């Protein structure tokens, strides 16, 4: 199909938008609702709290992350009357829109980009890590959408001489969704400010500033008592160049061990199959083309990618969702290399077969990376079923306590991470998996609490899950003298 024609291009965009929505529908039929892990339940909790604030005026209190994602989710939730689905839908629609605007950006920057639809379909829509992000309740993919929009309107303002106002607006939205996005958009914010001054475009600047301020209003209202909490974030405080070369860390999240040092990990966006399985080939071709000089857009993209990589490598953890925020820029940067590959005579002749093979391979990689998330979500539902008969009691737990709360179970919750408890009552419950956390949380509150309970109280096992989780009941204190 000739995607240069408007009608064919429209069908292509619709296909790109529908694929994630279709997957969400299928996964919900299989029992996956987008909720998994502590972060997604915390987003759900705060989104519900914002809805209560809108309807009753009860302030939701402080929040660890920026609040634009749960704010938007709360509005969708009031519309759909299902907050968890609303958040998953917001992630999914953000991914679809990000994919479409990535396609628009490529077609804006590269004339006669005949294979741009194929490129975006295989390496964006079916990118294992990005597709995973588009199916879960988490803010990263919405931040990624705002980043893509920022760069689309930046390049449009440079090549088409359009207003720079959307650049400021969407860069602010990205910041209000994920703080690290500032290290991606900061160079184009400065360049757009320079362009605005050069053009003496006062009106667009004022419009951009006003709408940007409006995007900050939820943050100002909801986080007024913690406006500067982002700058006091623990991981920013421990940022260091020495982390570039480390592969294990002791932080507030316990002890973490990784396969490669941070600096190598941040380069995954160029070659890891979770991002792009032909990335290594595209990177070599791109570097080979460097002798002819990079274009203006590639220089901007390269600088933004480098700045973010250098920032992220200094933080003592590794997270593919945070790294993925800059991946769309990598795709735009390497598109000319893809065009070179696609124009090889053999590949052009067997394009359909190779395209189907690439799609199959991407889906296989996605299955591998998504399987852990799916299984974790199913585990959480099974644990909910397991402990539900014991509602109404005090429950000491770690990791799964937020999922129990998010799924509506009524306990007096005591989080084993937040503090070290020294006194317990008979018939209190404990939900824990000591083997799972023995190494990561050695010497930290979760394991200190567990070891104190185990050594000082008689514990009765009420329920056991095959994954190693056990529900205990405290019988009585032991005579340790």
pLDDT in tens, 275-328: 999 999 999 998 887 766 788 999 999 999 999 999 999 999 899 999 999 999
Is the same domain home to 330 and 388? no
Is the same domain home to 190 and 50? yes
Give the confidence band of 481 by pLDDT, cuts at 50, 70, 90: low
Q: Which of 294, 324, 343 is the last residue of a domain?
A: 343
> Is the predicted pLDDT of residue 466 greater than 70, yes or no?
yes
| Cα first-last separation, the chain | 81
pTM of the model: 0.93
Is the same domain home to 134 and 268? yes
Model pLDDT, residue 230: 54
pLDDT in tens, 102-137: 999 999 999 777 789 999 999 999 999 999 999 999
Please check whether residue 132 lies inside any domain of the structure. yes
Residue for token digits 């379909």? 121
Please check whether residue 218 lies inside any domain of the structure. yes
Model pLDDT, residue 5: 65
> Is the predicted pLDDT of residue 165 greater than 70, yes or no?
yes
> Is the predicted pLDDT of residue 23 greater than 90, yes or no?
yes
Is the same domain home to 289 and 415? no
Is the same domain home to 139 and 266? yes
**Mean pLDDT for the stretch of residues 448-461:** 92
Is the same domain home to 334 and 452? no
Please check whether residue 242 lies inside any domain of the structure. yes
Is the same domain home to 126 and 272? yes
**Mean pLDDT for the stretch of residues 394-412:** 92
Model pLDDT, residue 227: 66
Distance CA 213, CA 207 (A): 10
> Is the predicted pLDDT of residue 67 greater than 90, yes or no?
yes
Give the confidence band of 410 by pLDDT, cuts at 50, 70, 90: very high
Tell me which residue of 278, 13, 332 sits closest to 154, measured CA to CA: 332
Element of type H or E holding 458:
strand 457-464
Give the confidence band of 225 by pLDDT, cuts at 50, 70, 90: confident
CA dihedral 341, 343, 347, 353 (to 10 degrees): 100
Is the same domain home to 403 and 301? no
Exposure on the CB side of residue 431, measured as CA atoms within 13 A:
27
Is the same domain home to 419 and 323? no
User: Residue 382 to residues 6, 36, 102, 406, 475: CA-CA distances in angstroms?
Assistant: 49, 13, 39, 14, 25
> Is the predicted pLDDT of residue 58 greater than 70, yes or no?
yes
Give the confidence band of 213 by pLDDT, cuts at 50, 70, 90: very high
> Is the predicted pLDDT of residue 265 greater than 50, yes or no?
yes
Please check whether residue 348 lies inside any domain of the structure. no
Question: Which has more pLDDT, 292 or 419?
Answer: 419
Model pLDDT, residue 303: 96
Distance CA 58, CA 135 (A): 30
Distance CA 339, CA 362 (A): 19
> Is the predicted pLDDT of residue 231 greater than 60, yes or no?
no
pLDDT in tens, 132-162: 999 999 999 999 999 999 999 999 999 999 9
Give the confidence band of 257 by pLDDT, cuts at 50, 70, 90: confident
Q: Which of 343, 375, 403 is the last residue of a domain?
A: 343
Please check whether residue 368 lies inside any domain of the structure. no
Query: Where are the extended beta strands (E) located within 353-444?
Result: 394-397, 412-415, 429-432
Residues with Cβ < 8 Å from 446, sequence gap 6 or more?
254, 398, 416, 417, 432, 437
Model pLDDT, residue 1: 46
Q: What's the mean per-residue pLDDT of the chain?
A: 91
> Which backbone phi and psi does 201 adopt, to 5 degrees?
-90, 80
230: three-class secondary structure by DSSP: helix
Please check whether residue 250 lies inside any domain of the structure. yes
Please check whether residue 369 lies inside any domain of the structure. no
Model pLDDT, residue 295: 86
Model pLDDT, residue 423: 87
Distance CA 393, CA 411 (A): 5
Give the confidence band of 384 by pLDDT, cuts at 50, 70, 90: very high
Please check whether residue 401 lies inside any domain of the structure. yes
Is the same domain home to 271 and 416? no
DSSP symbol at 131:
H
Tell me the percentage of the chain whose pLDDT exceeds 70: 96
Is the same domain home to 127 and 214? yes
Q: Which of 343, 375, 409 is the last residue of a domain?
A: 343
> Is the predicted pLDDT of residue 2 greater than 60, yes or no?
no
Question: Which has more pLDDT, 95 or 64?
Answer: 95
User: Residue 33 to residues 27, 91, 320: CA-CA distances in angstroms?
Assistant: 7, 12, 21
Model pLDDT, residue 477: 84
Is the same domain home to 403 and 276? no
pLDDT in tens, 68-88: 999 999 999 999 999 999 999
As for how many domains the chain has, the answer is: 2
- Domain extent for 393: 383-477
Give the confidence band of 232 by pLDDT, cuts at 50, 70, 90: low
């Amino acid at each position: 199909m000739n995607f240069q024609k408007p009608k064919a291009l429209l069908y292509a965009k619709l296909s790109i938008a529908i694929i994630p929505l279709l997957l969400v529908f299928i996964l919900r039929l299989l029992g996956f609702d987008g909720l998994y892990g502590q972060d997604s339940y915390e987003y759900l909790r705060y989104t519900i709290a914002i809805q209560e604030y809108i309807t009753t005026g009860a302030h939701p209190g402080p929040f660890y992350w920026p609040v634009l994602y749960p704010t938007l989710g709360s509005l969708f939730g009031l519309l759909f009357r299902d907050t968890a689905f609303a958040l998953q839908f917001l992630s999914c629609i953000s991914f679809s829109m990000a994919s479409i605007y990535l396609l628009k950006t490529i077609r804006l920057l590269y004339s006669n980009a005949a294979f741009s639809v194929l490129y975006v379909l295989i390496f964006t829509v079916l990118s294992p890590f990005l597709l995973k992000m588009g199916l879960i309740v988490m803010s990263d993919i919405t931040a990624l959408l705002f980043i893509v929009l920022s760069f689309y309107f930046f390049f449009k303002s440079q090549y088409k001489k359009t207003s720079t106002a959307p650049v400021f607006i969407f860069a602010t939205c990205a910041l209000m969704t994920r703080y690290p996005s500032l290290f991606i958009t900061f160079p184009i914010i400065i360049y757009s400010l320079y362009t605005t001054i050069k053009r003496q475009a006062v009106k667009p600047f004022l419009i951009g500033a006003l709408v940007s301020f409006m995007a900050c209003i939820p943050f100002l209202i909801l986080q007024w008592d913690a406006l500067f909490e982002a700058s006091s974030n623990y991981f920013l405080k421990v940022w260091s160049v020495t982390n570039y070369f480390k592969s294990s860390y002791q932080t507030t999240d316990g002890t973490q061990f990784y396969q490669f040092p941070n600096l190598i990990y941040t380069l995954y966006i160029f070659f890891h199959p979770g991002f792009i399985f032909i990335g290594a080939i595209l990177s070599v071709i791109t570097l080979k083309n460097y002798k002819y000089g990079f274009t203006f857009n590639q220089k901007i993209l390269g600088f933004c990618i480098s700045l973010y990589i250098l920032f992220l490598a200094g933080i003592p953890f590794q997270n593919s969702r945070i790294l993925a925020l800059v991946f769309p820029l990598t795709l735009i940067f390497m598109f000319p290399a893809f065009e070179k590959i696609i124009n090889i005579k053999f590949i052009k002749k067997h394009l359909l077969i190779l395209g189907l093979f690439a799609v199959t391979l991407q889906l296989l990689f996605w299955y591998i990376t998504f399987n852990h998330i799916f299984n974790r979500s199913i585990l959480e539902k099974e644990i909910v079923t397991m402990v539900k008969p014991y509602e109404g009691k005090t429950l000491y737990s770690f990791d799964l306590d937020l999922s129990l709360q998010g799924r509506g179970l009524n306990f007096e919750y005591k989080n084993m991470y937040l503090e070290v408890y020294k006194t317990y009552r008979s018939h209190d419950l404990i939900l824990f998996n000591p083997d799972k956390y023995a190494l990561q949380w050695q010497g930290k509150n979760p394991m200190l609490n567990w070891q104190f309970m185990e050594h000082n109280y008689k514990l009765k096992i009420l329920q056991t899950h095959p994954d190693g989780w056990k529900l205990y009941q405290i019988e009585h204190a032991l005579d340790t003298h």
